Amino acid sequence: MGTLPTLEELRPAYEKALDMVRTYIQGEELAKAFEEIRTAHKIHFDEAGKLSLALNAVFLEVRPAGEFSILLKESLEQNSDKYGAILNDVNEKIFKVFRAKMERKESGETEPVPAPIPAVRQPPPVPAQKTPQERLSSTTSQGTERVSLKAPEEKKSENEPRPASSSSNNYSDGDPYRESVE
């Protein structure tokens, strides 16, 4: 056979696989070992994807373990000169580790329990905030007094008409950037 399987071929095999195999394929241990091999040998992203398919095909028994070397050669298009070193690393860091796990499980030994993950401390709770409507409806100041930077003028009575402003510098009546309509 010798050709890399497709995802469509791997899915049914994954569903039928032992829980231990599925756990190992999805586990952090395999991911770390795979990443170490990928970075150590500078395996291209595409080649790493093909190598992952080859590993999964062997783990899920879609391809026999004896064909892995052929699948590896097919995966390594650009790194064919590193074939032997990559094969040794995959064997040492992935297959031997998995084989040891299988033997421990068959002999009844329990897996060493990993150290518990330290608890993440929660930040102190934030006090409840008012809704925008509540903030708009509440008053924060009780009336304001208008302050002018101009020299104080004599107070005029409110009934007295104001003289028309002939000077363009008198801005107290409106916007200083808008011409008055007269």
For the chain, the straight-line distance linking the first and the last C-alpha, in angstroms and rounded, comes to: 96
Task: Examine residue 16 and state whether it is found in any structural domain, yes or no.
Answer: yes
Q: Look at residue 57 and tell me if it is in a domain.
A: yes
Q: How many CA atoms lie within 13 A of 23 on its CB side?
A: 6
pTM of the model: 0.55
Q: Which regions in the chain score pLDDT beneath 50?
A: 113, 165
- Asked if residue 36 belongs to a domain, the reply is yes
Domain membership of residue 159 (yes or no) is no
Q: How many domains does the chain have?
A: 1
Q: What is the pLDDT at residue 74?
A: 84
Would you state the pLDDT for residue 111? 56
Residue 158 within a domain = no
Q: What is the pLDDT of residue 64?
A: 87
Q: What angle do CA 42, 10, 82 make, to 5 degrees?
A: 20
pLDDT for res 144: 63
Give domain status of residue 31, yes or no. yes
Determine the structural domain holding residue 34 and report its residue range.
7-107
Asked if residue 175 is part of any domain, the answer here is no
Please report whether residue 65 resides in a domain.
Answer: yes
